[in-house]
Amino acid sequence: MSENTIAFIGGGNMARSLIGGLIADRHPAVGLRIAEPDAERRDALTRDFEVQAFEDNATAIRGADVIMLAVKPARIADVVRELAPHIRDQKSLVISVAAGVRCADIDRWLGGESPVVRAMPNTPALVQTGATALYANEQVTDEQRDLAETILRAVGMVVWLTDERDMNAVTAISGSGPAYFFLTMEAMQAAGESMGLDARTAHLLTLETALGAARMALESHEDVDELKRRVTSPGGTTAAAIGELEGGDLAGLYRRALQAAAHRADELGHELGDQ
Ligand SMILES: NC(=O)c1ccc[n+]([C@@H]2O[C@H](COP(=O)([O-])OP(=O)(O)OC[C@H]3O[C@@H](n4cnc5c(N)ncnc54)[C@H](OP(=O)(O)O)[C@@H]3O)[C@@H](O)[C@H]2O)c1
């Protein structure tokens, strides 16, 4: 893990996951600085991770090699404009996890020609099994790309995008994706209960099956279509269920759902960039 100083602006859910991951990855706590307006949240971060927490953003970023923007998307423009002179002086790398906010807009708010990495992590980062896509603008050096990747890899796997427009599809698949699986688990659990299982049994069987299927698919050399085929004997129980799901056009439903999420991500990018 790098010895670089990383300053977080915003000490909420995403910052907490990343800080937890970095500490677990043996990043020195002394190299992590957090700006957070809420005193209770500041105290909790200091208590839980022994990091330095500040009320003032400009104080938190002093001397930082990397500045992680982890406030809500609607606040990014004001935060970046306020810190721009300090960030330019220090030549810090800016990494934004804000959904929908484009690199070009952050660069413009910084005054132009600044290194900016945009990241789209997801909530399983909380348990170090996140999936993050990264995109770097032209000002980001190879060393800074490595640094950004190292930070986000502390909470899961990382992929790089060469076209920032793909962030909308990433948002639709992995950014919003955990909710689709929670919805599926909810539906499976309810179906199990409707057939007489008690809630706890239906819950555990559903979750362990989801975990087992994901782990098996990740560890297998076969693609998921082949894994599905292997558990679906003609005329068997799985075939009966799959027939119902395909009859309800599950693939079409997912295509339309992900297109709706990507479309909304694009709309948000335009709305946020107009600030
Ligand atoms: N959570 C996710 O799954 C996820 C996934 C991908 C990307 N993201 C992105 O991560 C970012 C943070 O999300 P989150 O879920 O961590 O939100 P969050 O829990 O609300 O955390 C944001 C924190 O920033 C603080 N804050 C507000 N204004 C500030 C300012 N001017 N300076 C410093 N701190 C300020 C907030 O305090 P107050 O509450 O007092 O305003 C809050 O503690 C968002 O941009 C989101 O798009 C999140």
pLDDT value of residue 26: 87
Closest CA to 7 of 34, 27, 38, 29: 34
- Looking at the structure, do residues 256 and 205 belong to the same domain, yes or no? yes
Last residue of a domain, one of 137, 170, 203: 170
* Burial (0-12, 13-18, 19+ Cβ within 10 Å), 46: middle
Q: Once rounded to an integer, what is the mean pLDDT over residues 49-78?
A: 95
Last residue of a domain, one of 145, 170, 195: 170
Q: Is the CB of 61 under 6 A from ligand 1?
A: no
CATH code of the domain in which 218 resides: 1.10.3730.10
Last residue of a domain, one of 107, 139, 170: 170
* Burial (0-12, 13-18, 19+ Cβ within 10 Å), 195: exposed
- Looking at the structure, do residues 145 and 216 belong to the same domain, yes or no? no
pLDDT value of residue 271: 85
Residue 117, in any domain of the structure:
yes
Give yes or no for residue 38 having a pLDDT over 90.
yes
Q: Is the CB of 71 under 6 A from ligand 1?
A: yes
**Closest protein CA for atom 2 of ligand 1:** 123
Q: How far is the CA of 97 from the centre of ligand 1 (A)?
A: 9
The answer on whether 177 is annotated among ligand-binding residues is no
pLDDT tens for each residue of 198-207: 999 999 999 9
Domain that holds residue 186: 177-265
- Looking at the structure, do residues 141 and 190 belong to the same domain, yes or no? no
- Looking at the structure, do residues 153 and 192 belong to the same domain, yes or no? no
H-helix or E-strand containing 140?
Answer: none
pLDDT value of residue 2: 61
Residue 214, in any domain of the structure:
yes
Residue 234, in any domain of the structure:
yes
- Looking at the structure, do residues 151 and 236 belong to the same domain, yes or no? no
pLDDT value of residue 221: 95
Q: Once rounded to an integer, what is the mean pLDDT over residues 122-130?
A: 89
The answer on whether 9 is annotated among ligand-binding residues is yes
pLDDT value of residue 49: 95
